[in-house]
Structure 1
Amino acid sequence: MSSENQVNSKHKIAIVTGGSRGIGRNTVEALASRGVDVIFTYRANQAEAEAAVAAIEEHGAKAVAIQLDTGRIADFDAFVGKAKEALRALGADRFDYLVNNAGNSYHAPISETTEEAFDELVNVHFKGVYFLTQKLLPLINDGGRIINISSGLARFTVPGISAYASVKGAIEVFTRYLAKELGPRGITANTVAPGAVQTDFSGGIVRDNPVYNKMVSDQTALGRPGLAEDLGPMIASLLSAENRWVNGQRIEVSGGANL
């Protein structure tokens, strides 16, 4: 079977990190609405994960939730073993789509950024993404798709978020290398860079702080911050066969922030 036929086969499976809430939750539901079965990770909240599984199943797709702290690289071998079990439960031994979405935030000026916080950001947003992707490469179908989530902050600057923005910049470089090295397998790799989104990320600052919400709105061409549902369908669309020739790109989804 050709690589293109593999990724276009009826039975598609995605692995999405951080799929129980926010952008990740909307992504897994958008994929499910397109008939894609989903294996997703959650860090701690099992109730949220179970709710996400139920939502996916309401779309007629199948789902498996696996607990994983994506900053704990030592746990990745065990996760791969669980992922293989989940694939078998879904009637497959390989998957088609990988979305590296899980993340955390950190706000501090350069003068006050701690090494501990910096290392945690690196582990979650760069080292973890790098080595989890490496571990999963033998399981992804030729002709598959990889999306790494970056941030608008890798293009424009907001004082106090330098460490977070820097590791997102590293992910954008890594994505281009994935696209080049995996090209012979027909696997594409792209970066999606959200702008400010109204979720509970960063303590819900964009959603819940009226001053910050207005500041983002004033700097955005479409006049408001993003919503999780602005991202999930876009990510699902980028994974589809219609976008098979998009590769090695950074696609910002920010409503036109800081133009």
Structure 2
Amino acid sequence: MSTRNKIALITGGSRGLGKNMAIKIAKKGIDVVITYHSNKAEADKVVAEIQALGQKAAAFQLDTSNIKLFDGFIKELTAYLNKETGSPNIDFLVNNAGTGFYGPFAEATEEQFDAAMNIHFKGVFFLTQKALPYINNGGRIINISSGLARFSLPGSSVYGSMKSAIETLTRYLAKELGPRKIAANVVAPGAIATDFGGGRIRDDKETNQRVASVTALGRVGEADDIGGVVAFLCTEDARWINAQRIEVSGGMML
């Protein structure tokens, strides 16, 4: 009888960091399910890339800021997993989906605050809660934070505050899920050259140089610097890492 591969669910897996995480996790011999917000074509490309590596993959559309959709999504996901694997369960949940928001504290609106909270904190909180019955004992939860929860740069008060909330939540998850041997950790990227936040780290030369100048390793991060760390946290070698915040920033703002 063939053994069932472990399975990771990654939100926001069609591009940027999420795509890199999905591919790096697949290279560890883990099957992958990604969610995407709107770009089905890109999500399908990621699925094809993972299948080319010899792993199973699927993509589901989900707006992770809309909690009302979660029950339907979990139903769809578990039906797919039951059919493909004979079990509705996953082993790893990577809460990666997010958007950038920049603006001074004095000008932040309630609408902007709520939009950021829904995707970066409330959505993560309740999607994890809904997924919990389907995470195998001994599984892992990996939440994505940011260097901006450790250091402060003007314009990121809303985003940085949500990521601080995620870091606190992760410690509570580690504590409360300990009896099920589920570990929960945070990966906090520094500034990364992707299309995140309108691509300003990648495309704005001045911003790029400013980040490089305050980073010990002397450059801006790439998506490829992050995915492997998340993949490592899904391996047996990382089994004793729990309730930790791992910043992957090349030594930014030390």
Q: Give TM-score, length-normalised by structure 1.
A: 0.95
Residues 201-228 of structure 1: per-residue CA shift (max 9 Å, x gap): 0111011110000000000000011110
**Contact 1:188/1:247, CA 8 A, preserved across alignment:** yes
Structure 1, unaligned runs of 5 or more: 1-8
Is residue 88 from structure 1 mapped to residue 82 from structure 2 by the alignment?
yes
Letter in 1 for 2:76: K
1:97-136 alignment to 2 at 5 Å? 97-136=92-131
Which deviations, in whole Å up to 9, do the C-alpha atoms of 1:175-219 show, x marking residues without a partner? 000000000000000000000001000111011110000000000
The residue identity in structure 1 corresponding to 2:201 is V
Between the aligned partners of 1:101 and 1:82, the Cα distance in structure 2 is: 20
Residues 36-78 of structure 1 show CA distances to partners (whole Å, capped at 9, x for unaligned) of 1111100001111111111111111111100000000000000
Out of 234, 250, 253, which is 2:229 matched to?
234
Structure 1 runs of 4+ off > 3 angstroms?
Answer: none
2:205 to 199, 210, 215: 210
How far apart in 2 are the matches of 1:84 and 1:228? 29
Aligned length: 251
- Aligned with 1:13 (options 7, 21, 25): 7
Residue number in structure 2 paired with 1:169: 164
Query: Counterpart in 2 of 1:55?
Result: 49
Note if contact 1:29-1:56 (Cα within 8 Å) is conserved in structure 2. yes
Shift of 1:93: 2.2
Equivalent runs, 1:16-27 vs 2, <5 Å: 16-27=10-21
Equivalence map 1:240-251=2 (5 Å):
240-251=235-246
Structure 1 equivalent of residue 33 of structure 2? 39
Equivalent residue, structure 2, for 1:6: none
Amino acid at match of 1:39: V
Please point out which of 58, 74, 77 is paired with 1:64: 58
Tell me the amino acid that sits aligned with residue 40 of structure 2: Q
CA contact (8 A) 1:62 1:90 kept: no
1:88 offset after TM fit, Å? 1.9
Number of the residue aligned with 1:78 = 72
Residue 25 of structure 2 contacts residue 234 of structure 2 at CA under 8 Å; is this kept in 1?
no
**Residue 10 (structure 1) shift:** 5.5
Who is 1:4 aligned against? none
Instruction: Give deviations 1:137-178, integer Å, cap 9, x for gaps.
Output: 000000000000000000001101100000000000000000
CA–CA separation in structure 2 for the residues paired with 1:108 and 1:217: 22
Confirm or deny: 8 A CA contact 1:151 1:194 kept in the other structure.
yes
The one-letter code of the counterpart of 2:96 is N
Secondary structure in 2 matching 1:245: coil
2:35–2:59 contact (8 Å) kept in structure 1: yes
Deviations 1:98-124 (A, max 9, x none): 000000111110111010010010000
The answer (yes or no) to whether the contact 1:146–1:187 under 8 Å persists in 2 is: yes
Counting aligned pairs with the same residue, the percent is: 56
Compared CA separation, residues 10 and 239, structure 1 to 2 (3 A): same
For the residues of structure 2 that align with 1:95 and 1:148, how far apart are their CA atoms? 16
Q: Distance in 2 between matches of 1:214 and 1:29?
A: 29
Query: Residue 253 of structure 2 aligns with which residue?
Result: 258
Q: Does 1:142 align with 2:137?
A: yes
- Which moves more between the two structures, 44-53 or 84-93? 84-93
Instruction: Confirm or deny: 8 A CA contact 1:196 1:226 kept in the other structure.
Output: yes
Q: What's the TM-score once normalised by structure 2's chain length?
A: 0.97
What is the Cα-based RMSD across aligned positions, in Å?
0.9
**2:215 counterpart of 1:220:** yes
Q: Which AA in structure 1 matches 2:186?
A: T
CA contact under 8 A between 2:12 and 2:35: conserved in structure 1?
yes
